Amino acid sequence: MVAPTRTLQGIVLSREESGEGSLRMCVFSSDEGLVLVYKRLASKRASGSLPDLFDEVELRLSRPRTGGDSVFFVSEWRPLHRRPELARGQLRLETASALSLLYQRNGAHLAEPAPAAKLLADALDSLAEGYSPDAVYLKALYRFARVEGYPVKEAWWQSLPVEQRQVAAETLNVPLRELVQDECAIAEILESLRLWLNAETELCC
């Protein structure tokens, strides 16, 4: 009897050795949301043939006969889109990691994961292209909260002082390539949004 197989496309959010000769990967898919998969490691030196963090990949998955219904192993994979630029700057990498953590903590029960998946891909691409990490993350966090149905415009934005409200509106609405704003001001607004979401919503930021 052949083990059941299926195909999954998504972005690699995390990867770590599971301690059982396999790699555990968390992938966010536009079809299924957050998915945990495993890949058997042939050797300690096999990392070069493995999906990297923030890669968009297509995975061929198989389920072992004795592994339970929810355990899938990667039998084949191919890269669809890679973002090596994210590892070439500390702030880029830190912000990409923060986005990854946001999705790992909050992406398991999305009713419609497709908009959140596009948002994640767009944010990672913007970071790879060298745009302001804080501006990218502010836009992504704000839009993620709106996708989740939280009243960030009606409640958080309205609560900001007038000057910050103007900076926030420009940062959120102007395309990144045209954005001219003080980085410190954007960082303050980002921190304000983080604190509000942690206090007023179920999101963990």
DSSP 41-53: -S-TTGGGGSPPT
Tens-place pLDDT, residues 95-122? 999 999 999 999 988 889 999 999 999 9
What confidence tier does 21 reach under pLDDT thresholds 50, 70, 90?
confident
Homologous superfamily (CATH) of 5-81 is Nucleic acid-binding proteins (2.40.50.140)
> What percent of the chain stands above pLDDT 90?
80
Give the whole-angstrom CA distance, residue 53 versus residue 84. Answer: 9
Segment 15-35 mean pLDDT: 91
Instruction: Specify the higher pLDDT residue, 157 or 71.
Output: 157
Q: Is the pLDDT of residue 44 over 80?
A: no
Question: Considering the entire predicted model, what is its pTM?
Answer: 0.91
Give the whole-angstrom CA distance, residue 123 versus residue 117. Answer: 10
- C-alpha angle 125/127/128, rounded to 5°? 65
Give residue limits of the domains in the chain: 5-81, 85-200
